[in-house]
Amino acid sequence: MMNDSFCRIIAGEIQARPEQVDAAVRLLDEGNTVPFIARYRKEITGGLDDTQLRNLETRLSYLRELEERRQAILKSISEQGKLTDDLAKAINATLSKTELEDLYLPYKPKRRTRGQIAIEAGLEPLADLLWSDPSHTPEVAAAQYVDADKGVADTKAAL
């Protein structure tokens, strides 16, 4: 269901009791709309008004997205073998998506550019050669760099 700490956080933000928030969350999760809950389910929510329910719904959505992202980040850093107890505590303590992304930034896998892929395939010397001496015929120079094992199937792929 919902994390008790989220319940307390939302309750503090909308000036309500955690039990009221929990009841409203259950009603929202059952598919009830905010106007319906505000008008016909006041006794269940302890009298939460329309504004409080809308704020609750917005904040609940934000916190659920935050929790989902938090789990994905913890999994990613853990798979890299770089998750420490202090980092896990910091990630679990944050209540802001921006803060969460800032904590994740140093561990975020970098995107591979076409240049990086070419360097990994051993084509950097070819680029240096063609750049430094334009008199070389590119197709002839590229022929010696063809290697199917490195993903360079022909001279066109090397260039």
Query: pLDDT tens-digit profile of 125-144?
Result: 777 777 787 777 777 777 77
Beta bridge partners of 147: 152
Q: Are residues 90 and 31 in the same domain?
A: yes
Q: Which domain holds residue 80?
A: 4-107
Q: Which residues contact 94 (CB under 8 A, 6 or more apart)?
A: 70, 100, 103
Q: Among candidates 126, 121, 119, which has minimal Cα distance to 150?
A: 121
Q: Are residues 103 and 120 in the same domain?
A: no
Query: What does the pLDDT look like over 28-71, one tens digit per residue?
Result: 999 999 999 999 999 999 999 999 999 999 999 999 999 999 99
Q: Among candidates 79, 81, 78, which has minimal Cα distance to 92?
A: 78
In this structure, how many other beta carbons lie within 10 angstroms of the beta carbon of residue 34?
20
Q: Mean pLDDT in the chain?
A: 87
Q: Are residues 66 and 134 in the same domain?
A: no
Q: Are residues 100 and 66 in the same domain?
A: yes
Q: What is the pLDDT of residue 125?
A: 79
Q: Are residues 55 and 122 in the same domain?
A: no
Q: Are residues 128 and 152 in the same domain?
A: yes
Q: Is the pTM of this model over 0.75?
A: no
